[in-house]
Chains A and B, each alone.
Chain A
C-alpha cells in the first residue's frame, strides 16, 4: 500500500471549515484514499473514502486531485467534538490491511 504524508497538527475555529491535507504521491491506480479519525483514545472511526472522484457524506467531503497524488478532507462546520487525530490511509479495495501513520491532530478552538 502507498504511504501517506500528513502535517502533524492544525487547528481551526469552531463553525469554520477544517481542511485536512494528505499527500500520497506513490498511489497506484487501484488504491483508494481512506480517512479515519480517533477521538481521545477511542477506537478509530471511519469517515469517508474515495478512488478518484470527489465524495461527500454526512460527516465530510473528500477532494482528490486529478493526478490522485494528494487529497483534502473537509469538515464543513467544525465543532469541538471534531477535535481528534485524523488518519489518511491509502490501500487497495480488498484483501489488504489498514496501515496507520501518526495522522494529523486537529484542534477545534471555541
Chain B
C-alpha cells in the first residue's frame, strides 16, 4: 500500500495564480483532511471530508476550496494564490468508525508551497 500520497512535493507560484494540490489514499478511508503548517507552529486544519460528496471547513478555510468526488481523492484548490499561503500542506486520512474505536490518522509527506 502506498498510504497517503501528495503531489507535488514542491511548488512555487506567483501571486494570483491558481493550482491544485493532490492527495490520494489507497486505504479506503472515509475521513480525509488538509492541514497547513507554518514555521514554528503546529498544524492547522483547512478543510475536511467525512466521505465522498461531503466536505466541511476547518480552522483556516479562507482562500481554499475542496471537493470529494471519490473515496480515494481529496484535492485542495488555491483559486488565487497569495504570499500568506506560503506554507507546508499535509493531507491526512483515517477510517471513520464509531462504537468507541479510535483509529489513528495517516499523513502524507507534505507539499511545500511558496507564493512569490
Contacts and interface: CB of A to CB of B under 8 A. Distances in A.
Interface residues of A, number: 22
B48 A97 contact: yes
B107 interface: yes
A95 B96 contact: yes
A95 B105 CA distance: 12
A99 B53 CA distance: 23
Given A44-B90, A93-B102, A94-B102, A101 B58 contact: no
B104 A100 contact: no
B58 A97 contact: yes
B42 A87 contact: yes
Nearest to A97: B45
B1 interface: no
A103 B42 contact: yes
B50 interface: yes
Contact of B107 (A32, A44, A101, A102): A44
A103 B40 CA distance: 10
Interface of A: 32, 34, 36, 41-46, 49, 51, 87, 93-95, 97-103
Interface of B: 4, 33, 35, 37, 40-45, 48, 50, 58, 88, 90, 92, 96-98, 100-102, 104-110
Contacts, number: 60
Nearest to B50: A95
Nearest to A93: B102
A94 B98 CA distance: 6
Given A94-B97, A98-B45, A102-B41, A42 B110 contact: yes
B109 A42 contact: yes
Contacts of A42: 109-110
Contact of B96 (A44, A94, A100, A101): A94
Contacts of B48: 97
A12 to B, nearest CB: 22
Nearest to A92: B102
A94 B103 CA distance: 8
A97 B97 CA distance: 13
